[in-house]
A and B are shown apart, each in its own frame.
Chain A
Amino acid sequence: MKLHNKLKTFRIGGVHPDDHKITAQRVIVPLPLPKSVTIPVTQHIGAPAKIVVQRGDTVKVGQVIATHEGFVSSNIHASVSGRVGIIEEVMDSTGFKHMAINIRVKGDEWEETIDRSEGLVEEIKLDPKEIVARIMEAGVVGMGGAAFPSHVKLSVPEGKHVDYLIINGVECEPYLTADHRIMLEKPKEIVVGIRILMKALGVSHAIIGIEDNKHDAVELFQELLKDEPGITVEALEVQYPQGGEKQLIQALLNREVPSGGLPADVGVIVHNVGTTFAIYEAVQKNKPLIERIVTVTGKSVKEPSNFRVRIGTPVMDLLIAAGGIPEDTGKIVSGGPMMGKAIADLDVPVAKGTSGILLIPKEEATRAEVYNCVHCGKCIEACPMGLEPYRLLILSKKGNSTRAKEEHILDCIECGSCSFVCPSNRPILDYIRLGKTQLRKPKKA
Chain B
Amino acid sequence: MSTGLLTVSPSPHIHSELTVPQIMRGVIIALVPAVLMSVYNFGWGAIYVIGLAVGFCVGIEYLIAKYLLQRPHSIYDGSAIITGMLLAFNVPSNLPWYMILIGSLVAIGIGKMSFGGLGNNPFNPALVGRVFLLLSFPVAMTSWPKAGDWSLDAVTSATPLGIVKDGLRSGESLPTLMQQMPSYSDFFFGFQGGSLGEMSAFALVIGLIYMLYRKIITWHIPVSMLLTIAIMTGIFWWIDPTRYADPVFHLLTGGVMLGAVFMATDYVTSPFTHRGMIIFGVGIGVLTVLIRLFGNYPEGVSFAILIMNAFVPMINRYAKEPRYGAGKPKQG
Using a CB–CB distance below 8 Å, which chain A residues touch chain B? 12, 15, 17, 95, 161, 163-164, 174, 246, 250, 253-259, 261, 265-267, 324-325, 327, 329-333, 335, 337-344, 358, 360, 364-368, 371-378, 380-381, 384-388, 390, 408, 411, 414, 416-417, 419-421, 423-425, 429-430, 433
Given A380-B272, A421-B16, A423-B22, decide whether A339 and B11 contact each other with a Cβ distance below 8 A: yes
B139 at the binding interface (Cβ < 8 Å): no
Q: From DSSP, what is the main secondary structure of chain A's interface residues?
A: loop
Among B13, B116, B119, B332: residue with most chain A CB under 10 A: B13
Find B332's partner among A255, A339, A387, A425 (CB 8 Å cutoff).
Answer: A255
| Sample of 19 A–B contacts (CB below 8 Å) | A12-B323, A17-B16, A256-B325, A258-B329, A329-B6, A342-B7, A342-B11, A360-B14, A371-B119, A374-B20, A380-B273, A386-B324, A388-B272, A411-B325, A414-B11, A417-B12, A419-B12, A429-B10, A429-B12
Tally the A-B contacts, defined by beta carbons under 8 Å: 187
Question: What are the residues of chain A within 8 A of B11 when measuring CB–CB?
Answer: 333, 335, 337-342, 414, 416, 429
Q: Which residues in window 4-49 of B have CB below 8 A to A?
A: 6-16, 18-20, 22-23
Question: What are the residues of chain A within 8 A of B18 when measuring CB–CB?
Answer: 378, 421, 423
Find B267's partner among A329, A374, A388, A421 (CB 8 Å cutoff).
Answer: A374
**Alpha-carbon distance between A429 and B11 when the two chains are bound, in angstroms:** 8
**Alpha-carbon distance between A424 and B15 when the two chains are bound, in angstroms:** 11
Query: When the two chains form their complex, are residues A385 and B324 in contact, meaning their CB atoms are under 8 A apart?
Result: yes
Nearest chain A CB to B115 CB, angstrom units: 11
Across the two chains, which residue of chain B brings its CB closest to A382? Answer: B16
Nearest chain A CB to B126 CB, angstrom units: 15
**Alpha-carbon distance between A374 and B325 when the two chains are bound, in angstroms:** 28
**Alpha-carbon distance between A257 and B11 when the two chains are bound, in angstroms:** 25
Query: When the two chains form their complex, are residues A255 and B330 in contact, meaning their CB atoms are under 8 A apart?
Result: yes
Query: When the two chains form their complex, are residues A256 and B6 in contact, meaning their CB atoms are under 8 A apart?
Result: no
Given A261-B329, A377-B271, A411-B324, decide whether A338 and B9 contact each other with a Cβ distance below 8 A: no
**Alpha-carbon distance between A388 and B317 when the two chains are bound, in angstroms:** 11
B239 at the binding interface (Cβ < 8 Å): no
Query: When the two chains form their complex, are residues B3 and A325 in contact, meaning their CB atoms are under 8 A apart?
Result: yes
Query: When the two chains form their complex, are residues B323 and A386 in contact, meaning their CB atoms are under 8 A apart?
Result: yes
Question: What are the residues of chain B within 8 A of A433 when measuring CB–CB?
Answer: 10
Since A261-B329, A324-B1 are in contact, a sample of 11 more A-B pairs with Cβ atoms closer than 8 Å, ordered by chain A residue number, is: A12-B323, A267-B331, A340-B11, A342-B11, A343-B6, A343-B8, A372-B118, A374-B23, A374-B119, A377-B272, A414-B11
Query: When the two chains form their complex, are residues A372 and B7 in contact, meaning their CB atoms are under 8 A apart?
Result: no
B268 at the binding interface (Cβ < 8 Å): yes
B68 at the binding interface (Cβ < 8 Å): no
**Alpha-carbon distance between A376 and B141 when the two chains are bound, in angstroms:** 32
Query: When the two chains form their complex, are residues B325 and A261 in contact, meaning their CB atoms are under 8 A apart?
Result: yes
Query: When the two chains form their complex, are residues B12 and A366 in contact, meaning their CB atoms are under 8 A apart?
Result: no
Query: When the two chains form their complex, are residues B7 and A331 in contact, meaning their CB atoms are under 8 A apart?
Result: yes
Query: When the two chains form their complex, are residues B7 and A338 in contact, meaning their CB atoms are under 8 A apart?
Result: no
**Alpha-carbon distance between A63 and B325 when the two chains are bound, in angstroms:** 43
Find B329's partner among A161, A256, A341, A411 (CB 8 Å cutoff).
Answer: A256
Question: What are the residues of chain B within 8 A of A257 when measuring CB–CB?
Answer: 324-325, 329
Across the two chains, which residue of chain B brings its CB closest to A164? Answer: B332
B149 at the binding interface (Cβ < 8 Å): no
Nearest chain A CB to B330 CB, angstrom units: 5
Q: Which residues in window 64-82 of B have CB below 8 A to A?
A: 74, 77
Nearest chain B CB to A185 CB, angstrom units: 28
**Alpha-carbon distance between A189 and B263 when the two chains are bound, in angstroms:** 59
Question: What are the residues of chain A within 8 A of B267 when measuring CB–CB?
Answer: 374-377
